[in-house]
Amino acid sequence: MKLKEYKMLFMELIRYIHEGVHVIDSDGKTIIYNERMADLEKLTGKEVINKPFQDVFKDVEDSTLLKSLNTRTVIENKNQAYINKYGKEITTINTTIPIIDDNKVVAALEIAQNITQIKEMTDTILELQKDIHQPSENKNLRIKQYRFHNITGGSKAFKKTLEIAKRASKTDASVFIYGETGTGKELIAQSIHFDGIRKTRPFIAQNCAAIPDSLLEGLLFGTDKGGFTGAVDREGLFEQASGGTLLLDEINSMPYDTQAKLLRVLQEGYVRRIGGTKDIPIDVRIIASSNEPADVIINSGKIRKDLFYRLNIISINIPPLRERKDDIMPLCEKFIEKYNEKLNKDVWILSDKAKEKLLAHDYPGNIRELENIIVGAISLLDDEHVISDSFVNIHSVSEFKKNTIDYKNDVKEMGLMNIVDSIEKDIIYTLYAESGRNITKTADALKIKRQTLQHKLRKYDIR
């Protein structure tokens, strides 16, 4: 490719990417300033391009671009906030790098990623958590509180787990819960709290995998004005959970650096908001959970050993459902009772064949999967009282397995189209059952035409 063509390609790239891009040359003059950047900074390309940086921007002392140019430093993932032309606060993560050729700095490049929506999401989580735990202000948002009497299961393996969990509820020690997806980690964590000594104080659960790394610390520890431009003073989950329990779900997804900070907070007993200077004493019980076993996450480096030992004072393992098949029938009874009431049905029992089918399955999605199978069956019944095996839909590639599909092996075995079909069948089956077999609602939910849905229902023999 000719240089001119490269240039064209480059300019198109800059025009269409979602990040803001700003480049200054060695004299501090702007040579590239794309529209995204202009949007973020409430300026136009015309006002900036070919002008000396100092003439356009006032806060040159704080400028990461000039700093990068003058000191040859890379400034990575720095939080920044702007107010845009509509008065809305925009949050970005910026990375600034010097371009060095032949030991000479020829330019500095800044890339800004707009994370406003993600930031708003974490803010919303904090607000919602607050509402949940100050129920007098907003009663609708109260979450269901699980306690030990809501837990079903008398199998030997599960009884052992429950025994330890009940003892844990009488103490204040940190707990580490391991269980595959859908085994009831949240249920056990809540029961430890709501049947324990801290029950009158908040229970807050945070999934560490659901929040982008750059925002998790702010969410946990709070932020302080000055942490980054535009940051607000806001308490984090540690402060919100004061006196209560904080469940750190999927702790194995917490970034390594954050784990070190968490450990420090736990050891020192106080928290410092991001960008703050004050140490705030905290009194929070920690329950951590993981859907991978402890040895696996330690050996693969997903959890720091020192943090793990601090959390694993009491260790609770929840066995998967396939290792406690005695619990399947009692759980079915419980779910039939629950959904009779919810869906206004009058189901009494499962047919023998249906029971057989349920007992033979190995439940990669554990109790959640079993619950969904029962809901699916019940919602397909009209005024029948017996769930026959034809209504028990055991998914071939269950939705719970999607994340853990061994693609290479499964594709070899089943072929791509069969896997895609079985996932499609799963989704359609679930939504169709949930809608009470309503074609219009299901087609809407799937964003496909009614005719297409009808065709697929016939194809997969979903009734």
Ligand X SMILES: Nc1ncnc2c1ncn2[C@@H]1O[C@H](COP(=O)(O)OP(=O)(O)OP(=O)(O)O)[C@@H](O)[C@H]1O
Residues between 137 and 176 with contacts to ligand X, criterion CB under 6 A: 151-153
181 binds, among ligand X, Mg ion, none (CB under 5 to 8 A by kind): ligand X
Judged by CB under 6 A, the residue of 187, 254, 377, 453 near ligand X is 187
Q: At closest approach, how far in Å is the CB of 322 from ligand X?
A: 14
Task: Decide the pairing of beta strands 30-33 and 20-25.
Answer: antiparallel
Element (H, E) at 263: helix 256-268
Closest approach of Cβ 253 to Mg ion, in Å?
A: 12
Closest-by-Cβ residue to ligand X is 184
Question: Of Mg ion, ligand X, none, which one does residue 237 interact with (CB within 5 to 8 Å by kind)?
Answer: none
182 touches, from ligand X, Mg ion, none (C-beta below 5 to 8 Å by class): ligand X
Task: For the CB of residue 340, give the shortest distance to Mg ion in the complex, in Å.
Answer: 26
Q: What is the distance between the alpha carbons of residues 81 and 89, in angstroms, rounded to a whole number?
A: 7
Contact 258, 217 (CB under 8 A): yes
Determine the residue type at 123: D
Supply φ then ψ for residue 237, to 5 degrees: -65, -30
Is the separation of the CB atoms in 71 and 77 below 8 Å?
A: no
Three-state DSSP at 245 gives strand
341-380 binders of ligand X (CB under 6 A)? 367-368, 371
Query: In the complex, what is the shortest distance from the CB of residue 371 to ligand X, in angstroms, rounded to a whole number?
Result: 5
CB of 367 to ligand X, least distance (A): 4
Q: How many helices (H) and strands (E) does the chain have?
A: 20, 14
Minimum CB distance to ligand X smaller for 20 or for 179: 179
Q: Is 24 within 8 Å of 30 (Cβ atoms)?
A: yes
- By CB atoms closer than 10 A (0-12, 13-18, 19+), residue 411 is middle
In the range 125-154, which residues lie near Mg ion by CB under 5 A?
none
Q: Which is nearer to Mg ion, 366 or 379 (CB)?
A: 366
184: contact with ligand X by CB under 6 A: yes
Report how far apart, in Å, the C-alpha atoms of 401 and of each of 185, 253, 396, 405, 406 are.
Answer: 18, 19, 10, 6, 9
Q: Binding residue for Mg ion (CB under 5 A) from 41, 110, 180, 186? A: 186
Query: Number of residues in contact with Mg ion, rule: CB under 5 A?
Result: 2
> Site for ligand X (CB under 6 A): how many residues?
15
Residues of this chain that bind ligand X (CB under 6 A): 151-153, 179, 181-187, 291, 367-368, 371
Q: Which chain residues interact with Mg ion by CB under 5 A?
A: 185-186
